[in-house]
Amino acid sequence: MEVYTVTVATGTSQYAGTNNYVFMTLVGEDGESERTLLDNPGLDFCRGAVDRYQVSSPAPLGPLLLVRLEKQRFWVEDNWFCRYVTVKLPTQEEELVFPCYRWLIGDVQLEIREGTAKTLMDESIPALLTHRKEELQERQRLYRWLTWAEGIPRCIDAKTEADLPQDVRFDNEKRSDFEHSLHQSSLTEYCMNHWREDWFFGYQCLNGSNPRMIQKCSKIPENLLVTADMVQSSMSGRSTLDKEMKAGNIFLLDYAIMDGVPTNTIKGIPQYIAAPLCLLYQHPDEGLIPIAIQLDQTPGPDALVFLPSDPPLAWMLAKMWVRHAEFQVFQVLSHLLRTHLVVEVFCVATLRQLPAVHPVYKLLAPHLRYTLEINSRGRSQLISADGIFKQVASIGGDGLLVLAQREYRVLTYRSLQPPLDFLDRGVTRLPDYHYREHSLLLWDAIHSFVTSMLGLYYSSDLEVQADLELQAWITDVSQEGFTDLPNFGLSSKLSSRDELSTLLTVVIFHSTVQHAATNNGQFDWCAWVPNTPCTMRQPPPADKDAVTMETIMATLPDVSQSCVQMAITWHLGRRQPDAVSERRRPP
């Protein structure tokens, strides 16, 4: 008789434990153990517990392949989350670890395998090859592609988060925090005190919630009616606009993508948008400051160009219109589309095409956690026909989708790679661009780690090409996820380790660094509503001298809209209770 000592670790989240029956069978190359009821004196499988048992076999099992877990109802159904199982072999000190991290719901059987990462080429045992195949077949049944709306990336087939498998749902603590969780930060107060100042406006272009818009301006756009004389008073010393452009000190925010987007109607009242062009100057003493704002992409003969020398309230309102456009663009494009929806494509493809033992699955899994639930909630609660954006944002409803579709049509794989994006926008030497400096540091760190990790499993480019699971994954990403994007620039085949390293770095970077840059500070910038208004209730001003404080108050969101803006930006941008600091590794 062979006796194997096993430990079973139950999840640490609320309701992870169970009082149902749990059986275990060890499966080896030479046979199976007895089907054993795991039952110690007292309570088993309590939340956070690591319980020890013995499983017997009438004969040696040979190399251990699988652990079969079975859960059966005892009086009432009680779901169970198993973290892992360890098995100590009778004649060896070695302890094998079988990761699980799955919910067992109902009367169910689940087979898990030892956790060493293996590519398909490393697999030779028929039982394990069958296990890989059956795992992916089950995942492809559970995780299906859906076209939620034409012209944006495809997503998971789920009407709401309740339709998702429990394994990708929020833990109970996170769900409770998400649903029942206002707070004011020091940066919020600083923003409230300095938002009118031009240097602070410029700082937000570099390090606010949408730091990817700014680009170098080497020539004034033809549709921007700015002359050198208009901005001369903003130049340093005896310098001129032409000199500063040649020196690389003039920059542009161009919200052309907002032009003609359908506007919202809230409580029967039409809302308004603008598609501004904002010229900025890197002043040697004052930093990056706005020097001219035009609120229309196709100006007529009476078009206004707002300047710092204009009446103070007119200049302040012009900056508000730029920041209002910023709210729409950062929420819908920089945040929703370029992080959430892009990452969801990789999440769905990973679940469908890579078994849990695949090294790329292991690498990506921590960064894709909760993606499907938060995106499902977003589609049903935020951006749906009757969602929160419809209630408070000037492009809620149809406009939001039109804006996302416009950006998706021009989205490129190159623009998702920070070193190339900064180069293409001409901002590699722009001072005080902390977002750029931090992004490049973290990009390099992620890329270095990914490259080193892949080197453990792929010794050559040919091994990347020969990995059928990996090739099925990239095909799913490019042909099922990013549909109708002929100029996206991502191949449907992976040809080299370098290509794979870059792609995985893109996925990890945008699910972590880029999402944090766009999401985490939004309450700080948006809580003081005049700094980043979610909607405008009056059209852009047609007369600079007619702008009064009454005009501004009638234009800004009302009290109800302002409260919702504060609540939703706090709700989305606050620190998550289960966040893992970059300075702390999980246990």
Residues annotated within a binding site for Ca(2+): 17, 39-40, 78
Known binding residues for Fe cation: 335, 340, 515
- What is the widest separation between alpha-carbon atoms in the chain? 95
Environment class of residue 580 by beta-carbon count within 10 Å: exposed (0-12), middle (13-18) or buried (19+)?
exposed
Q: Are residues 235 and 244 in contact, defined by beta-carbon separation less than 8 angstroms? A: yes
Q: Which are the contacts of 228, defined by CB distance < 8 A and separation ≥ 6?
A: 240, 241, 242
DSSP 384: S
* E strand or H helix that includes residue 89: none
Walk across the sheet containing 287-294 and list its strands: 215-216, 250-254, 277-283, 287-294, 305-306
End-to-end CA distance of the chain: 36
Amino acid at the residue 460: S
Contact 292, 205 (CB under 8 A): no
Bridge pairing between strands 36-37 and 21-28: antiparallel
* Tokens read off for 50: 């690591």
Sign of CA dihedral 375, 381, 385, 390: negative
Note whether 470 and 135 are within 8 A (CB).
no
Q: Can you list the alpha helix ranges (DSSP code H) found in 181-306?
A: 186-194, 198-207, 228-231, 241-246
Instruction: Could you list the residues known to form a binding site, using ranges.
Output: 17, 39-40, 78, 335, 340, 515
